Amino acid sequence: MGTSVMILVVLTTLGLVFGFILAYANRKFAIEINPLIHIVEDVLPKGQCGACGYAGCQAYAEAVVLNPEVSPNLCIPGKEPIAKAVAELTGKAAAEIEPRIAQVRCAGSEGKAVKAYHYEGVRDCVAANLMFGGQKVCKHGCLGLGTCVQNCPFDAMTMSAEGLPIIDPSKCTGCGKCETVCPKHVI
């Protein structure tokens, strides 16, 4: 019984010592963050799309707050209201944003497009494109497997019964995620 009590005392003492060391290190090496970064990040739409050119909303918020040369209107999904809010928070002037909405430039629906072979692989356009450019004879048309729909962070796309993506203009922010994942570049 005496050994188990001694083990508990030693482990408790070690825990307290290392706890105090970690608390001291936390205070000593703490990095202060500008609170405006979190305020700007809360205003952004949180799509993490990267359309602004930065790796997500937090990286853009840091850049727009800390760098005077970064424009407050780079958040394409946020459109005009977000650009004005970020400009107001950062004290910068926001230029006007031209709205962007994705469009599918393909009419090769299931009924119109001729199939070269029956594809049985992974339900992904990029994977299907690796197999001789896809299952359709037209090598420039939509493959119709919905990779763009799966990658839309704003749920602005659905697949039609004809096998082509349909874009809801009221939800589309123009972030470009669908465009970047399409191996045929029809969006």
The model carries a pTM of 0.63
pLDDT in tens, 42-93: 989 887 788 888 988 899 999 999 999 998 988 888 888 888 999 899 988 8
Query: What is the C-alpha separation between 170 and 156, in angstroms, rounded?
Result: 8
User: Among 90, 116, 135, where does a domain finish?
Assistant: 90
The answer to which of 12-21, 31-40, 143-152 has the lowest mean pLDDT is: 31-40
- Mean pLDDT, the chain, integer: 88
Residues in the chain: 187
**Are residues 113 and 158 located together in one domain of the fold?**
yes
Residue 98 has pLDDT above 80, yes or no: no
User: Among 47, 71, 90, where does a domain finish?
Assistant: 90
Domain holding 171, by residue range, is 101-187
Query: What is the C-alpha separation between 124 and 84, in angstroms, rounded?
Result: 38
**Are residues 184 and 141 located together in one domain of the fold?**
yes
Number of domains the chain is built from: 2
**Are residues 166 and 115 located together in one domain of the fold?**
yes
Q: How confident is the model at residue 131 (pLDDT cuts 50, 70, 90)?
A: confident
Say if 82 falls within a structural domain: yes
Q: What is the pLDDT at residue 112?
A: 86
Angstrom distances, CA of residue 151 to CA of 26, 84, 145, 155, 169: 39, 28, 12, 9, 16
64: CATH: 1.10.15
In which residue are the tokens 């001789």 written? 132
Say if 26 falls within a structural domain: no
Say if 134 falls within a structural domain: yes
Say if 179 falls within a structural domain: yes
Q: What is the pLDDT at residue 99?
A: 77
Express as a percent the part of the chain with pLDDT over 90. Answer: 32
Whether 165 contacts 146, CB under 8 Å: yes
**Are residues 39 and 79 located together in one domain of the fold?**
yes
Q: What is the pLDDT at residue 100?
A: 81
Q: 111 forms bridges with which residues in the sheet?
A: none
Say if 127 falls within a structural domain: yes
